[in-house]
Amino acid sequence: MPHIQQLESHVADLIAAGEVVERPASVVKELVENAVDAGSSAVVVEIRRGGMGMIRVTDNGCGIAPEELPTAFLRHATSKLRTEEDLGKIGTLGFRGEALAAISAVSRVDILTRQTGTTEGAALHLEGGVPGAVEPAGAPEGTTITVRDLFYNTPARLKFMRKDSAETAAVNGLMQHLALSHPDISFKFIKDGVEALLTPGDGKLDSAVYAALGRDFARGLVPVSGSGGDITVSGFVTAPLMGRGSRSMQVFFVNGRFIKSQLLTAALEEGYRNQIMKGKFPGCVLSVTLPVTAVDVNVHPAKTQVKFAREHDVFDAVYHTVLDALGKTSAPAAAPAQEARLPAASRQDFFQTMDAKTFRQGGAKPAPQPAAPARPAWNTELRAPARVADSGQTSFYQTKRSESAAQGALGRAPASVTSPPDTQQSSPPAPSCNKGALGRP
């Protein structure tokens, strides 16, 4: 065996960069999330050749002070996290302080920025992570970052890049999700000189859905809104008759982040049980908000996954909210009769995930406490009792552990992604503004 040696920092940085920046879409994601964290109300994303030629993100957020500009590109440099305790209550989209370092390590970057309330902006150029000098520059308030020649110094990665069209499609999908998760921000996306997306940023989720997913999808949607304990669920789901051939139009956000979750998919589809044709799937744009301490986002930066502290509560929240919304729109008579004819096992096909199966098996959970509150305040008044009683979910639901009550005061309120900005005063993500989104200077 050769001798063991610590990697040169330059090599270690390239490896770390590869974990954050897999493809152009990861660059766009990180840059837009920074723009969101900076409190922007308008974000423009421009790409050429699927982002391999150029990526430019312009925002009107708080900007970066000239003297802090080089620091922003150092690894583990962030304004959003200070102490170990802060890790438990992350309210911003970013926090690792790795994105700018990683992106600049594998590309050529230009940044132009002016801080809110200052008169002069600053510009900086970096090549492969090596910064030039900070130059004074005229600039509008906010930040523009241009990334060129992605992976020019990592030929192995370059070789594995897919066609420009595949990268363009990936960025396009990402832009849809970003626009949907921030209806209060106006997003413009320009690919190869052509405007592909423009959302009004009026704070209304339906405007964003219409702009991002198109008129056809927007037409058959049922509004969904429910809250219980410290979990709220809002957004839109497709009417049962508008079932789709795949799950591709199931869009979930947790505290403003687009995520993929078998748990949320299962909860959504449970709400449609016996209301939707076999082989069809509901579509949705659903936003789940819960205390930042009740969800772990401290996973791989490129992954769209989270871990819920109380999975059953989240499942219940989504399931009951969806069920309520559908109950208000569909004819109530048909469902119980149809349900009675179906042997319980035939519903298994709805649960193609382990998560869902686990949830159905109420017995697998810790013993319920006898004094547990009968029901949290979901909007259940309008639902016919027969349907609930038959769902197999009831016993578990009604005897829910009282842990949600015990965990009442869970830190700060979650970010709301569907309400207009003026209802969000107490909610992170707060603008980072290089003062620390966690409220400390």
Cβ pair 249, 283 in contact under 8 A: yes
Q: Does 144 bind ligand ADP (CB under 6 A)?
A: no
Using Cβ positions, the residue closest to Mg ion within the complex turns out to be 94
262 contacts 295 by C-beta, under 8 angstroms: no
Choose which of 232, 261, 427, 434 interacts with ligand ADP (CB under 6 A).
434
Is 430 near ligand ADP (CB under 6 A)?
Answer: no
What whole-number distance in Å separates Cα of residue 254 and Cα of residue 181?
A: 9
Instruction: Give 366-372 contacts, CB < 8 A, sequence gap 24+.
Output: 366/401, 368/399, 368/400, 368/401, 369/401, 369/402, 371/402, 372/399, 372/400, 372/401, 372/402
Task: Please identify which residue in 97, 226, 376, 428 interacts with ligand ADP, judged by CB under 6 A.
Answer: 97
Residue of 278, 293, 173, 177 whose CA lies nearest to 230: 293
CB-based burial label for 341 (10 Å; 0-12, 13-18, 19+): exposed
CB of 78 to Mg ion, least distance (A): 7
The answer to whether 60 contacts ligand ADP (rule: CB under 6 A) is no
Helix, strand, coil share of the chain (percent; to 5) = 35, 20, 45
Question: Of 21, 27, 35, 175, which one interacts with ligand ADP (CB under 6 A)?
Answer: 35
Where are the alpha helices (H) located in 38-93, listed in sequence order?
A: 69-72
CB of 94 to Mg ion, least distance (A): 3
CB of 184 to ligand ADP, least distance (A): 17
CA distances from 406 to 2, 230, 373 (A): 55, 11, 12
Q: Which string of x and - marks every residue 62-81 that binds ligand ADP (by CB under 6 A)?
A: xxx-------x----xxxx-
Choosing from 17, 28, 58, 59, the residue that interacts with ligand ADP (CB under 6 A) is 59
Secondary structure (3-state) at 131: strand
Instruction: Give the shortest CB-93-to-Mg ion separation in angstroms.
Output: 7
d(CA 105, CA 73): 9
Size of residue set near Mg ion by CB under 5 A: 3
- Residue selected from 61, 94, 128, 142 as contacting Mg ion according to rule CB under 5 A: 94
Contact pick of 69, 99, 276, 415 for Mg ion (by CB under 5 A): 99
In the three-class reduction of DSSP (H, G, I as helix; E, B as strand; rest coil), residue 138 is classed as coil
Confirm or reject binding of residue 100 to ligand ADP (CB under 6 A): yes
Asked if 121 interacts with ligand ADP (CB under 6 A), we say no
Nearer to ligand ADP, 17 or 62 (CB): 62
- Interface with ligand ADP (CB under 6 A), residue from 143, 234, 255, 261: 143
Select 97 or 228, whichever has its Cβ closest to Mg ion. Answer: 97
**Minimal distance in Å, beta carbon 156 to ligand ADP?**
23
Chain residues binding ligand ADP by CB under 6 A are 30, 34-35, 38, 59, 61-64, 72, 77-80, 94-101, 143, 432, 434
